Amino acid sequence: MSKFIIACPVCHNYTQASTGFFASKHIRCTCGHVINVKTERMATMACPSCGNHVVYDQAEGKDAKCPVCHAQLVSDASFKNLVHFRCGTCGCQLHAEKNAKHITCPICDTVADVQQEIKKAEVRDAAVPAIINYEGDNQTFVWKHPMTDFVTGSQLIVHESQEAVFFRNGEALDSFGAGRYTLETGVLPKMESAYKLPMQGMPFHAEVYFVNMTTQMGIKWGTPSKVGLFDPATGMHVELGASGSFNLRVTDARRLLVKLVGTTGGLTREEVFGQNGAGHFRSIIMTQVKAHLAKVIKANHISVLELDGHIDTLSVALRDAINPILAEYGMEMPEFLVNNIVTPDDDPNFRRMKQQHADNYLRVREEEIRKAEAEAAFERKAIEAQTAARMKVIGAQGDADVVRIKAQADAEAYRMMAEAEAQEMHMKGYSYQQETSRQVGLEAMRNMGAGGTAGAGNVSGVVGDMMQLGVGLGTMGTVMGAMGSVVGMTKEAVNPVLQQAAAIGGWDCACGQKGITSNFCPGCGSKKPSASPLWNCGCGQQGIASNFCPNCGARKPEPPALWDCACGQQGIASNFCPNCGAKKPEAWDCACGQKGIKTPFCPNCGGKKEE
């Protein structure tokens, strides 16, 4: 077991270490840093002779030589002229001359600025508190602060929409939101519990990562190859391409740093979704797009020819499919937009699909036109039927008006003629009854003069004529008296004539009494029966008094049902009122049992007709 001097990677002070199986693998430096002898004793420096960058073991001490020119790498004089710092990418211990500008890490090929590292060392050695803040751009998701050695009492400034996380030996410890913080033991509780922090003003080693929590807008995407699928409408196989943009933001800074960033210097937008497969998430997102694009189209039964009308549905479905995977890395897509669908216009299946869609569209349009024409024709016929019915009603009302006007005119003419005759008789000094008796007497005298003397036969003829003229017995007696005085008939000759007239105008009762002139039978008191009107049969037989025709046996027709109008006109036989033109009401049945009612109200219970 041999001893050697190893440089502390934090304060760069030298500490004695040992090799061998039982040697201590961890040594605590005076700055508080625990040196891992096995891993941190490897160092690198430029050969002072040939300039070759050499990785060597510090345990070799002055025996370490350049493998190219075999010159001694470390001497007492050269060691004092070296600056010591760690690689910001892989953490390897680097040694460079103080006048050098840059040095390349032989492990990860990271180019380090030697002069900047010297300034950091001066600040660290002077134990001057520093201002730690974000110095990256807005295109960066994660930015690592270049300083790794900080002094207690330094100021940490975290802006809005940012989060700062402290790392120590690859482990995420304390995190800070927006605000200004003084790095003290009370502010770094997790780091204090894991590693004993030095006193106020003393340096300590840590890495600080600033995470940008803002939403990165307008990150372009596009399928590297076309997606094959079967069109749900036609079943034909086609290939589609898609492109668009999405927005991305960090939701869990600690998870993103642990799972993706690690010990790298940061994470930029280009590294997240770069072109030519350079982005970490490019292959993941494109795989999900290709896997779910066909599924969404099939599940929603979207025709390939109508994809532009369902872009919002595709966008939401693809975003929901991608976000669970991004959540494992502490990120999410607030919006995923499908802006363009590339269709295979040169594909025969696609052209055939478009032709079928056009044919189906034309067929549907033709069916809609035929249906519209049929509906229009039906409406036209309905309108014509309504118009014809309305015209018929108007015509019937017009005919009724004509009949009513004519009847009113005839009635008015008759009334005027009667008033003129009455006025004439009043002026001459006699009544209507006297005028009628006079006319009848004159007619009887003419008949007697034409037939000879006034014998019994002639008197009977006169009596028959009078009865046919509708002259009453009282008037007939007066006329016969006048005739008797004219023709020289005695009272005894006139009385039989009057008796004959009474017999002719009388009626026979069922009890046997005959020639009754009164309204009631003197033998049994029965009322005089009303005379039945005569009727004419369609076979030609006329003046029939019985209920059946004696010639052909046809039944006597029922008299028309008369009805009364609301305007006051009564006994109407036509379907329309001749006075006002109202239509004959239809018969209806009442709930009380009364049937065939033609008035608006039931005569039995007074119930109103339902409309």
The arithmetic mean of pLDDT across residues 434-460, rounded, is: 57
Residue 333 has pLDDT above 90, yes or no: yes
Residue 492, pLDDT score: 52
pLDDT bucket at 322, cuts 50 / 70 / 90: very high
d(CA 436, CA 479): 10
Q: Average pLDDT in the 549-567 region?
A: 81
pLDDT class for 111, splitting at 50, 70, 90? confident
DSSP characters over 368-432: HHHHHHHHHHHHHHHHHHHHHHHHHHHHHHHHHHHHHHHHHHHHHHHHHHHHHHHHHHHHHT--H
For residues 559-587, average pLDDT? 80
Given a cut of 80, whether residue 62 has pLDDT beyond it is no
Which residues have C-beta within 8 Å of that of residue 381, sequence separation ≥ 6?
none
- 99-104, long-range: CB within 8 Å, 24+ apart, which pairs? 100/46, 103/46, 103/53, 104/53
User: What pLDDT sits at residue 163?
Assistant: 93
Contact residues for 496 (Cβ-Cβ < 8 A; gap 6+)? 456
Nearest alpha carbon to residue 59 among 74, 46, 81, 77: 74
Instruction: Give the range among 6-20, 199-213, 260-274 with minimum mean pLDDT.
Output: 6-20
Residue 388 has pLDDT above 50, yes or no: yes
- pLDDT given for residue 470 in this prediction: 46
Residue 162: other Cβ atoms inside 10 A? 20
pLDDT at position 332, please?
Answer: 93
Share of the chain above pLDDT 90, in %: 7
Per-residue model confidence (pLDDT) at position 327: 92
How buried is 489 (Cβ within 10 angstroms: 0-12 exposed, 13-18 middle, 19+ buried)? middle
The mean pLDDT value of the chain amounts to: 75
> Does position 264 have pLDDT exceeding 70, yes or no?
no
pLDDT of residue 249: 92
pLDDT score at 199: 63
Query: How confident is the model over 273-294, as a mean pLDDT?
Result: 80
Q: What gap in Å lies between CA 200 and CA 150, rounded to an integer?
A: 11
What are the distances in angstroms from CA 487 to CA 250, 389, 454?
Answer: 147, 70, 7
pLDDT in tens, 119-132: 776 666 555 567 88
So what CATH class is 216-344?
A: alpha beta
Confidence of residue 80 (pLDDT cuts 50, 70, 90): low
- Kindly state the average pLDDT of the residues 384-403: 78
Full-prediction pTM beyond 0.95? Answer: no
As to burial, measured by CB atoms within 10 angstroms (0-12 exposed, 13-18 middle, 19+ buried), residue 189 is exposed
Q: Which pLDDT band holds residue 139 (cuts at 50, 70, 90)?
A: confident
Of 130, 324, 331, 131, nearest in space to 212 by CA: 331
pLDDT recorded at residue 486:
44
Whole-number Å distance between alpha carbons of 336 and 601: 76
Helix (H, G, I), strand (E, B) or coil at 575: coil
Distance CA 408, CA 228 (A): 93
Give the model's confidence band at 471: pLDDT under 50 very low, under 70 low, under 90 confident, else very high: very low
CB atoms within 10 A of CB 251: 15
* Token pair 């998430």 in the structure block, residue: 281
| pLDDT of 334 | 93
